[in-house]
Amino acid sequence: MSWILSDSNYNPEVQLFTLQKHTQVQTPDLQMTQPKAMAFIYGTDFVLFSNSPDANVNQVAVQLIANFGCNQSDYSGFTPGYYKPLP
């Protein structure tokens, strides 16, 4: 690409960088154990965001947030230290 710019009377500066590539190696698994056991289906009930980090969150305390967490009042009564998935 730089040679095209050079031929057009531009003076490009090339900066090399390392690109970290995310590759999904297995289908994600999401399950709820309380108050009622439930398995969620990848692609139907949930999806991953691009470049989502890998994590294993077994036995993590979860507390749901009302109203998508848009208002400060949505967090009243929330227990600090719990994971906050949004509805």
Q: pLDDT class for 2, splitting at 50, 70, 90?
A: low
pTM of the full predicted structure? Answer: 0.42
pLDDT > 90: what percent of the chain? 1
- Judge whether residue 34 has pLDDT over 70: yes
Give the list of residues 6+ apart from residue 11 with CB closer than 8 angstroms, or none. 5
d(CA 25, CA 5): 39
Question: Which pLDDT score is estimated for 56?
Answer: 67
